[in-house]
């Protein structure tokens, strides 16, 4: 207990945790004012969940993507906090959760090297990795895995292990890479205890059933879908592999520790670990990483893995975000000698001092760059304070004109329209309901407006050409040219979609 070596290891481990928390707090400070259209949907979901409203099992208007972040933020929102304040904190915690959980579990097992490897991994990656705040939820669920599997092969532990791996992949398929490694390792290491494998498979069954039912929710009513991934993006095309091999640095951008400019080095590191682990007779570890590599190769055969950009908002590498966790897991499978462990532990702080300094100094520029325009990126960064002001202005005008519906038009800025449609109900909960023709993700709002007749509606946005064509309409009047433009629509005698099409305000 009083061994100086143990005290030094404890100081090193907790120092790494403090560094990780400080690094995450700095990135949160720099990026908390930013939001995308997708994040606005999660804000809205957190508000709905806090009010006990569960409209859809996945990301609104999609047949994939569980909004775990919104679910975790809901209690804070129910207590009166703004989703815009709570969600960045939840997302920051989710980003650290799997690394810290594995680290703390290994530290409790008195494996200081493994604990420090996991705790250090987020700090050894480039700042672009830390700035990404989407696609983290499935990987975050893996934080529960070591505590389930560490129950000594108990019935409950093995059952939960299977459920956790299945749930992680169900919440977000990018966790599948790590799930393949952990699941294969489990089955190989438990090959002499087949009942443990059966229990783990039994744990996966209820989650698989829930996933099937969630997907059936959409397949039974395709009109609920605004966007699906189960189209041409999920067609199998092995001929895409040569193309992927020509740009591995893009597919694995920001996933390699220390050697940041070369993302593909992460793959070569994993490949090198397989024969090394096999030579050390660690067949479970070698086969686990081998399974993950095969999983990545298969993923590259689908167009979905090629659907991305070089922007941190929508990178190609989001498909393989579990790779750093897999690298850390692979490294701790190695049987380090006591001599090498001492030198590894001594190397941590100087290396982390350099990488943390670089992350802190580069983060501001990368976050600022994300606010610029990136061709081909379906998402755009919006400033949250500006969004609050815009929504407040719209709410005040709506109150002054006594309207009972706010219609957000797509043109001339679809991104702004999508963002305001979701963000304004969060910023101004008492304002009239928002609705976006030809782009509404909330299918229940489509149903509500299909059977409702409003009296007065405030129209937000609309191109100049569209409004010039509508000048002859006696039911439409200009309220403000303030961008976005505001118009008042009166004389509504049918559901809003019908009126908008009849007046040619929407096509």
| pLDDT tens column, 310-362 | 888 889 999 999 999 999 999 999 998 887 888 888 999 999 999 999 999 99
| Strand, helix or coil for residue 488 | strand
**Cα distances (angstroms) measured from residue 193 to each of 107, 158, 184, 473:** 27, 11, 14, 76
Residue 120, C-beta contacts closer than 8 angstroms, at least 6 positions apart = 16, 20, 348, 352
Helix (H) / strand (E) containing 284? helix 283-299
Using pLDDT thresholds of 50, 70 and 90, give the confidence band for residue 235.
Answer: very high
Distance CA 404, CA 416 (A): 22
Whether omega for the bond prior to residue 412 falls within 30 degrees of 0, making it cis, is yes
**Cα distances (angstroms) measured from residue 59 to each of 83, 218, 362:** 16, 12, 32
Using pLDDT thresholds of 50, 70 and 90, give the confidence band for residue 92.
Answer: very high
C-alpha 123: how far from its chain's center?
19
Distance CA 137, CA 304 (A): 19
Distance CA 150, CA 147 (A): 5
Per-residue pLDDT reduced to its tens digit, 103-155: 999 999 999 999 999 999 999 999 999 888 778 999 999 999 999 998 777 88
Reading the block at residue 417, the tokens are: 């329209």
Residues 362-375, mean pLDDT to the nearest whole number: 80
Distance CA 265, CA 126 (A): 13
pTM for the structure as a whole: 0.94
Per-residue pLDDT reduced to its tens digit, 371-429: 765 667 788 889 999 999 999 999 999 999 999 999 999 989 999 999 999 999 999 99
Per-residue pLDDT reduced to its tens digit, 423-478: 999 999 999 999 999 889 999 999 999 999 999 999 999 988 888 877 778 899 99
Per-residue pLDDT reduced to its tens digit, 257-311: 999 999 999 999 999 999 999 999 999 999 999 999 999 999 999 999 999 888 8
C-alpha 122: how far from its chain's center?
16
pLDDT at 4: 65
Q: Are the C-beta atoms of residues 314 and 308 closer than 8 Å to each other?
A: yes
Distance CA 289, CA 283 (A): 10
């Amino acid at each position: 207990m009083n061994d100086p070596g143990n005290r030094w290891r404890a100081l090193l481990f907790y120092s790494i945790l403090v560094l990780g928390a400080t690094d995450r707090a700095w990135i949160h400070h720099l990026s908390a004012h930013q939001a995308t259209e997708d994040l606005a949907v999660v804000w809205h979901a957190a508000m709905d969940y806090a009010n006990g409203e569960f409209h859809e099992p996945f990301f609104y208007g999609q047949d994939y993507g569980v909004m775990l972040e919104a679910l975790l933020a809901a209690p804070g929102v129910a207590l009166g906090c703004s989703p815009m304040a709570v969600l960045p904190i939840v997302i920051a915690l989710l980003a650290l959760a799997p690394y810290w959980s594995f680290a703390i579990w290994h530290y409790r097992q008195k494996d200081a090297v493994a604990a420090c490897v996991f705790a250090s991994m987020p700090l050894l990656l480039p700042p672009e990795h830390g700035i990404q705040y989407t696609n983290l939820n499935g990987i975050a669920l893996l934080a529960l895995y070591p505590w389930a599997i560490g129950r000594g092969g108990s019935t409950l532990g093995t059952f939960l292990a299977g459920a956790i791996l299945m749930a992680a992949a169900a919440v977000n398929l990018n966790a599948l890479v790590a799930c393949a490694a952990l699941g294969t390792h489990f089955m190989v290491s438990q090959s002499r205890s087949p009942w443990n494998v059966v229990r783990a498979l039994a744990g996966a069954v209820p989650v698989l059933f829930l996933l099937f039912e969630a997907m059936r929710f959409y397949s039974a009513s395709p009109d609920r879908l605004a966007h699906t991934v189960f189209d041409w993006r999920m067609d199998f095309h092995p001929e895409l592999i040569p193309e992927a091999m020509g740009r591995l640095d893009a597919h694995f951008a920001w996933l390699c520790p220390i050697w940041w400019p070369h993302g593909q080095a992460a793959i070569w590191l994993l490949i090198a670990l397989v024969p090394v682990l096999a030579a050390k007779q660690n067949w479970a570890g070698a086969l686990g990483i081998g399974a993950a590599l095969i999983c990545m190769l298969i993923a590259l055969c689908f167009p979905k893995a090629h659907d991305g950009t070089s922007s941190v908002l929508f990178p190609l590498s989001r498909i393989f975000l579990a790779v750093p966790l897999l690298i850390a897991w692979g490294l701790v499978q190695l049987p380090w000698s006591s001599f090498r462990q001492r030198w590894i532990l001594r190397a941590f702080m100087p290396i982390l001092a350099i990488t943390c300094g670089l992350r802190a100094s580069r983060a501001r520029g990368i976050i600022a760059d994300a606010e610029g325009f990136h061709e081909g990126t379906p998402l755009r960064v919006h400033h949250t304070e500006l969004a609050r002001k815009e929504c407040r202005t719209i709410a005040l005008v709506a109150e002054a004109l006594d309207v009972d519906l706010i219609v957000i038009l797509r043109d001339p800025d679809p991104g702004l329209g999508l963002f305001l449609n979701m963000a304004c109900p969060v910023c101004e909960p008492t304002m009239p309901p928002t609705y976006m023709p030809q782009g509404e993700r909330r299918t229940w709002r489509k149903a509500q407006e299909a059977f409702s007749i409003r009296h007065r509606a405030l129209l937000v946005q609309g191109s100049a050409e569209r409004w010039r064509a509508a000048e002859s309409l006696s039911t439409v009047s200009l309220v403000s040219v303030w961008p976005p433009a505001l118009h008042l629509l009166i004389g509504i005698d049918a559901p809003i979609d019908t009126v908008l099409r009849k007046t040619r305000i929407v096509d």
